[in-house]
Structure 1
């Protein structure tokens, strides 16, 4: 009888062990933390397991120490369980020491943190080309989401089954700033009904023209973060690369419009958890799940977001705060600087397209975070090249409030500003939106003299008003090429580019002619024949004089 009971106990233990292993395997499959000692997710997973194991070992130790139930006291087993308890405790101590060695106050770490991102000083007028309005985003992410949802509402075959993801990654696509985002399964039941066919499309919003398109795919998106099981892209990536620590992913399209998931791979450079940077990037084809693993220096040119913007801002703030040492960052604060906060208290930044790359832009202010900046920083999201421009002036938030003050009777809200070069003058450019999120006006604010604010219903009117304002303040804005400011009369040439734009509900076409720097604004209401023209056509434009780069066209000549 005793032998049979002993056999039963062994079988129960084996079954319990098998069940425990299966539960742990299922938990790993579902949560899929990186198997890397530097992974914070893995340590969170381990803490739960270690706490459970320690509790069980402690209970058995107490049982054999006091002789509870039918079990007799056993100093030998007490010693055994005490020794086993030391293992999870030792692992926890390793994690605590690793955390301590990762902190900026740990001896020698301040200097390491300050050099994770290397920033060089540069000249604004030399580095930043004069603004080309066909390449800057007029609208922000919130407006892009609004446009995407409106377009989605017209797709009767999609709207009941899918919804647009909130990702809306900003990238350069064929020389234009756009935001792209995949469709998602609307809920579990919609996933069940459509999983065999996959996700049929993604949305692309042109940030300059506000054109929005739902792009239908021949090869549907199979790998998505809205798939709960085997085609979940996060699970697919982590199980394919179990030792990689992935940072925030983004959704991008290559030059052929094929959808890809972009997964930056983290590397900790300080202690166990500190000094995060990016060492590799894995591209996952959203349709096939095929992956390509690149070292950070070999990332393809079309990839725009190898480094997450939040990480780059954090790295710059490390260098700004700790370049003089940890104690100085708290007490003396000599030379301590930081990126400017936005209105919600987080790091305020925006994106600028330059040289077929996306750069993160933010103002830089002193440690006291007053209402002025000492300069601005631009960081390349593909290469992490970082440049600081010494420009004293107003913070982005101050400029936003100044622009809103010009139209306070309309109660418009300003978008987070873009930094542009207007005839060598660093200038904040922003859109003004109504309560419905629609762009109604534009504003330009002189960074160095933020009381100089110009607003207008169109780009041409805004720029003209802004330049007149600068001239009235004795600021020279006449240094640009004459082809950018044609005098009244006619201009003829071959169309190099043509872009439709919707301004305050009215359609316009922006034309650039070969050999001309000016942008010709053709309102469709008064210059309707412009719709007949395309790139490569020869055209004659009749217009008045202009002090800005945008020239208002009166008619098309013969």
Structure 2
């Protein structure tokens, strides 16, 4: 049939440039265009429902989607233009539009590239120089987080295994967001439907539990909800969390979605909304968050300066690391970053989180691009406000410290986790766990950040602290963090921990607990109620660590 049409088209063009084909054949071509356009509209509707592209002129995903649709449209009208002069005009216009969009994007990317906008990229995050011993409180070893994500996955799986009826219907989301609730570092994650069939069977009941892991005590809890989760990333159709947000906020560019709980343990999903700040597509930064009630689906949008204080994670870690990289690379201009490289820095390859007060901070070291053997300092970044403090303290690079800690027990072949940085004796000190091949925590390690040959390991945190004190007596004596106090003993208890006797002393007029291992002073064994002691030690939030007694 098409051969006949092309033949007639050629003859007709030779006889009359405005006459294409006869009426019967032309009806067929009209039907072809109508069918393909209808199919294209249907494709757009279905693909949008699946892809959930933000309708935003500052979204790269939106432009990719539009260009793809325009290409399909161009093909349809090109075929139809062989028989319809008006379609020729449309497909040529469509090609011009595609070229214009691509050219605009290329020019915009050039304009917003670091080559021309290096200073703007450097200013996406603003570092303030801080004083470590003033800004970072002395470590409270009763609140030190020891559960990383790998350990959380194992603890959560163990807890889930205790609930036989749940295992067949639900799995665990292995994200395990680190948050802070009432000053306690936690890792929380929701359950998810095991598969699509399980969703159909259980969607009316929702997800009845989430997992809560105390990062200090390692206690894992399967928290039962009075109002189950009915909007999540494992839900389908209109209850799918991403789709629910997209239809509520069609222009929002969503970067990351975190699971969090408020002070009362109520579950929410926190979606970070980013916008380009340089040109059309360059320099993304978080401008708002969308808070979704996981049970009801109710949503509320907050600008970054209005975010409720119970929310811990507004800025994605990957975004923070990228901005720190750009800041260190382009602070003195693009040419310097590539040629002279004077003062050019970069974050170290890893990062970790630490709780300070009611907030979660991202920690990472800062090193020169010309050398990766040591850090020139380190940063703490508040994950809710993006307040960034830089501490210009020369220290060992984290991976060197990890090797040093693992080397202290090299016969066991343990591997160190990425460390967290704490304040001990008013000095930055690395704390990390040592794990076996099964990723189970077997020991702990403390390493002086400025002198990483000083390494202490122990089977418990208390034993590790005791061992560290023995090898850092010179630091402890010189430290302005050592406090001298006179106390009246109200009560005293002794506990044997891994073969070591530790004394816990309650003091008159204080809620704080004083702790001391027997090797601090042998006379501790004879302390009784009413005794007056002159002690030396480190004052933490809820404990006082005794390091010596005055005679």
Please classify the TM superposition score into its range, dividing by the shorter chain length: 0.7 to 0.9
Q: Distance in 2 between matches of 1:98 and 1:37?
A: 12
Distance 1:516 1:434, change over 3 A: farther
Structure 1 residue 98 corresponds to structure 2 residue 108: yes
Distance 1:299 1:79, change over 3 A: closer
Residue 274 of structure 1: how far off its partner (Å): 1.2
> Is contact 1:467-1:477 (8 Å) kept?
no
Matches within 5 A, 1:360-509: 360-472=362-474, 476-477=478-479, 479-482=481-484, 492=491
The match for 2:211 is 203
Structure 1 residue 153 corresponds to structure 2 residue 161: yes
Which deviations, in whole Å up to 9, do the C-alpha atoms of 1:20-65 show, x marking residues without a partner? 212201110111011111112222322322333344445556xx4x
Matches within 5 A, 1:293-308: 293-308=301-316
Higher radius of gyration, 1 or 2: 2
Q: Decide which of 72, 82, 95 is 2:92's aligned counterpart.
A: 82
> Is contact 1:471-1:477 (8 Å) kept?
no
Residue 439 of structure 1: how far off its partner (Å): 1.6
Q: Decide which of 30, 35, 46 is 2:50's aligned counterpart.
A: 30
Name whichever of 196-205 and 39-48 sits farther off: 39-48
TM-score under structure 2 length normalisation? 0.85
Distance 1:77 1:30, change over 3 A: closer
Structure 1 residue 273 corresponds to structure 2 residue 281: yes
The match for 1:221 is 229
Q: Distance in 2 between matches of 1:79 and 1:155?
A: 66
Residue 478 of structure 1: how far off its partner (Å): 6.4
Q: SS in structure 1 opposite 2:218?
A: coil
Q: Distance in 1 between matches of 2:49 and 2:393?
A: 51
TM-score under structure 1 length normalisation? 0.84
Which deviations, in whole Å up to 9, do the C-alpha atoms of 1:88-128 show, x marking residues without a partner? 221222222222222111x2x00111111111101001110
> Is contact 2:353-2:362 (8 Å) kept?
yes
Q: Higher helix share goes to which structure?
A: 2
> Is contact 1:57-1:84 (8 Å) kept?
no
Matches within 5 A, 1:253-268: 253-268=261-276
Unaligned 5+ segments in structure 1 are 65-70, 342-347, 496-502, 523-538, 554-558
Unaligned 5+ segments in structure 2 are 1-20, 518-528, 547-551
Distance 1:9 1:59, change over 3 A: closer
Residue 468 of structure 1: how far off its partner (Å): 2.0
Q: Distance in 2 between matches of 1:186 and 1:510?
A: 47
Which deviations, in whole Å up to 9, do the C-alpha atoms of 1:190-233 show, x marking residues without a partner? 21221121111100111110000010111111111112322110
Distance 1:91 1:365, change over 3 A: same
Aligned residues: 509
The match for 1:356 is 358
Q: SS in structure 1 opposite 2:329?
A: helix
